[in-house]
Amino acid sequence: MEEFVGKLWHNWVTKAAAGHYPEAAVKLAEVEKTAGILFRAFGGDPGLKVAAATSEEHGARRSWLQRLAGSNERVAQARRDAETLRLPPEIAAFPEKSLNRDLYLWLAALAASDVAPGKPWFIRNQLASQAALSNFPGLRSRYERLVAAHISHRIDPAQLLPDEAVQEQAIRQALQQPATVDGLPPLNSTKSRPPQPVLLWLIGAAEQVEPSKMADPGEHLPPEGSGSAESDKEAHKAEQVPPPDNKSPVLASFRAESLPTWAEYVRVNRAYDDDEDPNARNAARDLDKLSLTRDGETAKSRIKFDLDLPSAAEDDTPVGPGIALPEWDYRKNQLLARHCQLQPMIAHDAGQAALPAELAATARKLRGQFAALAPQRRWLKAQPDGADLDVDACVRNQADRASGHTPEVGGYLAQARCERDLACLLLADLSMSTDAWISDSHRIVDVIRDSLLLFSEALSATGDRFGIYGFSSLRRQNIRFHLLKDFNGKYDAAARARILAIKPGFYTRMGAAIRQSASILYEQPAGRRLLLIITDGKPNDLDLYDSRYGIEDTRMAVHDARRMGLTPFCVTIDREAGSYLPYLFGPAGFCVIRKPEELPRRLPMLYAQLTRD
């Protein structure tokens, strides 16, 4: 009974305090795609992704009902940085659901119209609002409704201290008439509080981590694709702190207040435990701020994996001295010449191998289906010479002569071979994330291996020219490019053995691999050239590549391939690929396979669709 009454009281007092209407709440997941499309359509940076913002204490004055209800202490506000447009994970600020949804759309339009990101937030948001309303007049009616609803929920200036009231009046005028207030008046009293959050504006981006404070490239990062989709959607505010001096196991002088709280750093590393802590995510939600540190001892234990390279006797054999390749730096808007080193490799003593027995039946079926695509001989009519007479042409010629005309066509049938003028290069991602298990018996790399074998079996039946390569990377100076089958070689027992010998590598520096593949494919004498890419995650490496840098470099590599007349197409099993692959390959340049085990069967069929006349 006590709990029931408590819930009733909480619901009533929270509703009476205003500022939060759960029944009209709109979640970011409901409008994320719409907001992203609107942001890009209004001219926003297409490289930014949409993600959830953090909830933070604002420190502003609250009404007595809000203090009584213990509500409105924290708020998640929109912000924009170099890589992300962060929007509130949920908006329930207004009693009408349509207004909460319109606020999401307005924030997307405002972020796209951010014309003065270097200005103070008060001026910056006014100029952005003015630009958005000027460029998109259809937003004005929605904006005015949002401003009226937001102002009605703000504390009346008459209830504030004089300097707070002056600030509040300035904010209200800036909202109602953007770009008419030159600056926010300062606070003069030590008792004054900062202004209430302005939900219709962006706040300043979180402070960027200095390059010197970034993770040491020598430290091993968690494997790409290892995070869950849910964790990628959540955001937490964090700070960098020095590691505590807790080497001594003896408590010389114990004091109760010296016990660490949840929010303080504790030296715990769970990055490589097999089992996830089921309470970790809940604990993170309860923290005001996550504390992160660089721990030298932990780094030493983690660096072992990166240095554990295959021995020369077990590793693939390098082919040639390596190839220097460029890389695109979007920050400088410049292609960095000879920035990467790609090393072609071939399996060492792979020998020869037959097709695995479990794939034999599927391979026979695919060969039968793809045999229909093989070049066939066809009869050409009205030829000047040939093996048989063309009766129709002969009758036409005789009629022409009888009418006094000279025949213009030949009278023979000839056979000609109809060739498929195309070439395909298949590039497979062999990064460490492919070592993940998708069932009790198969890993991702096993699925990729089966896909390459069945793909080769199918194309062998058509006679199409094709090559197969794999890649992984360990920073820009060690990009491993594995030759599985080149265009000049046959698909035989040796090629099958090289495919069967593939194993998970390191990371996914995709831009360099695409550039090298495009260079190989461009040299093939074919009218149509398809660059088919198989991956299980987004571009990733130990350095800056694990950010927007890698996305932009890959995108530029794809554009360069298209300018060479190639057709890049990506096949992925990453369920979150819809958030970045349209930016990389375009809306029709990729395919997401939700069930990885279906990849071997679907890949040949996908090839047939892509090469259909």
What are the tens digits of pLDDT across the range 319-367? 889 999 999 999 999 999 999 999 999 998 889 999 999 999 999 999 8
pLDDT (mean) for 552-564: 97
pLDDT value for 47? 84
Which residues are CB-contacts of 269 (< 8 A; sequence separation ≥ 6)? 295, 298, 302
Give mean pLDDT, residues 582-592: 92
**100 vs 14, 24, 126, 189, 197, CA distance in Å?**
18, 8, 21, 35, 16
Asked if residue 72 has pLDDT above 50, the reply is yes
Q: Is the pLDDT of residue 63 over 70?
A: no
Distance CA 217, CA 240 (A): 17
- Give residue 414's pLDDT: 76
Lowest mean pLDDT among 144-158, 227-241, 342-356, 581-595: 227-241
Contact residues for 391 (Cβ-Cβ < 8 A; gap 6+): none
Residue 302 pLDDT exceeds 80: no
Query: Is residue 221 predicted with pLDDT exceeding 50?
Result: no
Compute the mean pLDDT over every residue in the chain, rounded to the nearest whole number.
81
Q: Kindly state the percentage of the chain with pLDDT values over 90.
A: 48
pLDDT reading at 55 higher than 90: no
Tokens standing for residue 400: 């022409």
What is the band of 6 on the pLDDT scale with cuts at 50, 70, 90? low
- Tokens 């040796």, located at residue: 494
pLDDT of residue 396: 86
User: Can you tell me which residue has the tokens 């504006």?
Assistant: 201
pLDDT band at 300 (very low <50, low <70, confident <90, very high): very low
The reported pLDDT for the residue numbered 229 is 42
Weakest-pLDDT range from 15-24, 256-265, 370-379, 457-466: 256-265
**Span 9-14, average pLDDT:** 58
510 alpha-carbon distance from chain centroid:
13
Token pair of 596, please? 């990885």
Q: What is the DSSP string of 264-312?
A: S------TT-SS--TTHHHHHHH-SSEEE---HHHHHHHHHHHH-PPPT
Q: 3-state class of 356 per DSSP?
A: coil
Q: In the chain, pLDDT over 70 holds for what percent of residues?
A: 75
**By C-alpha distance, which of 585, 483, 467, 570 is closest to 524?**
467
Please report where in the chains the tokens 């016990």 appear, as a residue: 259
pLDDT-derived band of residue 293, with 50, 70 and 90 as boundaries? low
Q: Round to whole Å and give the CA distance between 412 and 479.
A: 58
pLDDT on residue 549: 94
Confidence check: pLDDT of 84 > 70: yes
Q: Which two tokens stand for residue 276?
A: 């996830």
pLDDT of residue 335: 96
Three-state SS at 122: helix
Q: Which residue did the predictor score with more confidence, 391 or 364?
A: 364
* Helix H or strand E encompassing 417: strand 412-417
Question: What's the rounded mean pLDDT across residues 505-530?
Answer: 95
pLDDT for residue 290 = 61
Helix ranges (H only) for 182-259 are: 229-233
Q: H-type helices in 74-120, by residue range?
A: 97-112
Tell which residue, 76, 78, 102, 79, has the closest CA to residue 24.
102
Estimate to the nearest angstrom the gap between the alpha carbon of 531 and the chain centroid.
20
Q: Where in the chain is the domain with CATH 3.40.50.410?
A: 318-370+420-610
To the question of domain 318-370+420-610 being in CATH 3.40.50.410, the answer is yes
Phi-psi region of 14 (alpha: psi -120 to 50; beta: other; left: phi over 0): alpha
CB neighbours of 447 closer than 8 A, spacing ≥ 6? 438, 573, 596, 597, 599, 600
